[in-house]
Chain A
Amino acid sequence: MNVPPSLVRLVDQLARLPGIGQKTAHRLAFHILREDPAYAHTLARALEDVKANIRFCQRCFGYAEDELCPVCRDPSRDTGQLCVVEQPDNVFVLERAGVFKGRYHVLMGAISPLDGIGPGQLKIQELENRLAGENIQEVILATNPSMEGEATALHLARLLAGRGVNLTRLARGMPMGGNLEFTDDVTLFQAFSHRQTFGGE
């Protein structure tokens, strides 16, 4: 194959992205090639910045550029409501949908013995610390509607029962076995507004 090596390198790197096949990688590479050089520069900088600057929020473990993420630093957020999610990406999805005005807590996963993840591997102790230190009235369990997400929600409900916080779970209607990431905004909005009291027993 007599293709300039730098083009091959770009295509190969793009093809490593999820959901991008060889064909799409080619299309993207040629697109970048045809664009203004400034675009390639901006794109490269954006890629480098995201790796260099993004870390986890010290309080909620969402994505942040500083010690605290934008949500935790925003004084207009409702500090009485805490939405518990599996992954930092879930915060991004919920923020984009704009359906929730409280704060978040990211567990960094879900209970999955098959993947060697028990409650001890999740940010559950950190969640308990927050409940003790912050004035939280409602905990919304927004783990994924998968079996692992369900088990995690059940576990938290069992753990947090009797601590004087109101526990709720996002309403069903989200496709079972699904993922917050792939749930559309309208469904998310409905799931939030119809959230139900949730208890371990």
Chain B
Amino acid sequence: MVIQELGLSGFRNYQELFLPLGEGIHLFLGANGQGKTNLAEALHLITHLESFRSRRLEPLIRKGQDTARIKARFTRQGRPCLVEIEIARGGKKVWLDGQPVGKTSEYLPLFFSLLFNAEHLYFYRSFPAYRRAFFDRLISFHDRGYLESLKQLRVVLAQKNSLLRQGDLSSLADWNRLFMEKSQDITGRRELTVSQLRPEMEKSFQGITGREGRLTLTYRSSLPADPVGWPEFLQAAQEKESQAGYALYGPQRDDYRMTLTEGGATAKEGEFSQGEYRAALLALLLGANRLCQQLGARPVLILDDLFSELDAKVREHLAARLDELDNQVFITATQAPDFGRRGKRYGISGGTCQGE
């Protein structure tokens, strides 16, 4: 997907903005507080329909205005599309090619962008639920069956939890059977995605950092590795689960974790330095991008405040890697290296954006 034009009206500190974009690496440069992150936020909103830093809609609307509007023309698999988003305090409305979008769940799988910024870093590092949501979105982007299984699992889980709270366990075996059926499907697809990501991430991490260290992504299921043992396992867990009043095991509790092996020692994710963590998440982002590309999709990359807290060598390596990609890339930074032919530079100042 390539965003060809972006229009903003009453969005954050932008009164009116029209930007012709297109292929390449777009560098939004400027001092802090001028509107770089606001621009990244608007671009990300197009594919995710929610802000990456505010649950409330009010802050997205420029002071003194009733609504904020985002309008984007883009090409998706060679076909032109138009997305219009209207944000009011009470809610937002979305149109795709002039047609109102009723269900977010039907819109989201159509588009994909990969985000890197301070919020993403913080949430990814802190919350297992955020990590699960990140991978769920990635997997469901190329696997519609996965989304269907997830939806079904959610229903089964809600029913099972309700049952455990009520204490009438006469149909627990039946819900567990459905639970195992859906869980096997979901964990299988997650395992597969992680195994595809692992070598890509390892390569990317070495490429970005110039280190020998091996970054490894692992999917940690809360259920035993072999589904054959699940019925017995859940049977044994029944008492604990009834006491808790909710399901203690299953895909809803699973996690994705990284380790870094270097010089014979293995560091867990919690022991990564801030710089290592940034590089690891960039490696995940590049790996996820590879996966999408193998399926013929080109996600938009949105890299907000990319170069801060990365040392000079990493910055240089990263810039080289981004230059090799054929994605449309948006980077915000206070200063950025030259990207040669693919790079387009814009100056951001006080809610305006000027091509250099």
A residues near B (Cβ < 8 Å) are 111-114, 116, 118-120, 146-148, 150-152, 154-155, 158, 176-177
| Known interface pairs A154-B178, A155-B171, A158-B174; A114-B152 also in contact (CB < 8 Å) | no
- B101 partner residues in chain A, CB cutoff 8 A: none
Interface residues of B in 170-209 (CB under 8 A from A): 170-171, 173-175, 177-178
Which residue on B lies nearest to A111, using beta carbons?
B171
B162 to chain A: closest CB distance in Å?
4
Which residue on A lies nearest to B154, using beta carbons?
A147
A-B contact pairs, 13 of them (CB 8 A): A111-B174, A113-B162, A113-B163, A119-B171, A146-B155, A147-B155, A147-B178, A150-B178, A151-B156, A151-B159, A151-B174, A158-B174, A176-B148
- A154 partner residues in chain B, CB cutoff 8 A: 174, 177-178
- The 6 closest A-B CB pairs, nearest first, are A113-B162, A113-B163, A154-B174, A147-B155, A155-B174, A151-B174
Q: How many Å lie between the Cα of A146 and that of B171 in the bound state?
A: 16
Q: How many Å lie between the Cα of A154 and that of B159 in the bound state?
A: 15
Q: How many Å lie between the Cα of A124 and that of B173 in the bound state?
A: 17
A162 to chain B: closest CB distance in Å?
16
Find out whether the CB atom of A118 lies under 8 angstroms from the CB atom of B178.
Answer: no
Which residue on B lies nearest to A156, using beta carbons?
B174
Beyond A152-B174, A154-B178, A176-B152: 8 further Cβ-contacts under 8 Å? A118-B168, A119-B170, A119-B171, A120-B168, A148-B159, A151-B171, A154-B177, A158-B173
- A113 partner residues in chain B, CB cutoff 8 A: 159-160, 162-163, 166, 168, 171, 175
Which of A112, A147, A158 is the one whose CB lies under 8 Å from B152?
A147
Which residue on A lies nearest to B182, using beta carbons?
A147
Find out whether the CB atom of A120 lies under 8 angstroms from the CB atom of B174.
Answer: no
The dominant DSSP class at the A interface is: helix
B43 to chain A: closest CB distance in Å?
34
Judged by a CB distance under 8 angstroms, whether B267 is at the interface is no
Judged by a CB distance under 8 angstroms, whether B19 is at the interface is no
- A148 partner residues in chain B, CB cutoff 8 A: 155, 159
B residues near A (Cβ < 8 Å) are 148, 151-152, 155-156, 158-160, 162-163, 166, 168, 170-171, 173-175, 177-178
A32 to chain B: closest CB distance in Å?
32
- B148 partner residues in chain A, CB cutoff 8 A: 176
Find out whether the CB atom of A118 lies under 8 angstroms from the CB atom of B152.
Answer: no
Q: How many Å lie between the Cα of A118 and that of B169 in the bound state?
A: 9
Which residue on B lies nearest to A151, using beta carbons?
B174
B234 to chain A: closest CB distance in Å?
14
Which residue on B lies nearest to A114, using beta carbons?
B162
A181 to chain B: closest CB distance in Å?
19
- A155 partner residues in chain B, CB cutoff 8 A: 171, 174
Which residue on A lies nearest to B153, using beta carbons?
A147
Q: How many Å lie between the Cα of A148 and that of B168 in the bound state?
A: 16
A157 to chain B: closest CB distance in Å?
9
- A116 partner residues in chain B, CB cutoff 8 A: 166
B174 to chain A: closest CB distance in Å?
4
- B171 partner residues in chain A, CB cutoff 8 A: 111, 113, 118-119, 151, 155
Which residue on A lies nearest to B169, using beta carbons?
A118
- B168 partner residues in chain A, CB cutoff 8 A: 113, 118, 120
- B156 partner residues in chain A, CB cutoff 8 A: 147, 151
A35 to chain B: closest CB distance in Å?
36
Q: How many Å lie between the Cα of A68 and that of B166 in the bound state?
A: 36
Q: How many Å lie between the Cα of A176 and that of B163 in the bound state?
A: 23
- B151 partner residues in chain A, CB cutoff 8 A: 177
Find out whether the CB atom of B159 lies under 8 angstroms from the CB atom of A147.
Answer: yes
Find out whether the CB atom of A114 lies under 8 angstroms from the CB atom of B174.
Answer: no
Q: How many Å lie between the Cα of A118 and that of B167 in the bound state?
A: 11
Find out whether the CB atom of B158 lies under 8 angstroms from the CB atom of A114.
Answer: yes
- B178 partner residues in chain A, CB cutoff 8 A: 147, 150-151, 154
- A119 partner residues in chain B, CB cutoff 8 A: 170-171
A85 to chain B: closest CB distance in Å?
18
Which residue on A lies nearest to B163, using beta carbons?
A113
Looking at A120, A148, A151, A152, which has the most chain B CB atoms within 10 Å of its CB?
A151
Which residue on A lies nearest to B165, using beta carbons?
A113
Find out whether the CB atom of B159 lies under 8 angstroms from the CB atom of A114.
Answer: yes
Q: How many Å lie between the Cα of A142 and that of B341 in the bound state?
A: 63
Which residue on A lies nearest to B162, using beta carbons?
A113
- A158 partner residues in chain B, CB cutoff 8 A: 173-174
B105 to chain A: closest CB distance in Å?
13
Q: How many Å lie between the Cα of A151 and that of B159 in the bound state?
A: 10
B209 to chain A: closest CB distance in Å?
46
Q: How many Å lie between the Cα of A146 and that of B159 in the bound state?
A: 12
Looking at B148, B156, B171, which has the most chain A CB atoms within 10 Å of its CB?
B171
- A150 partner residues in chain B, CB cutoff 8 A: 178
- A120 partner residues in chain B, CB cutoff 8 A: 168, 170
A149 to chain B: closest CB distance in Å?
11
Q: How many Å lie between the Cα of A113 and that of B178 in the bound state?
A: 14
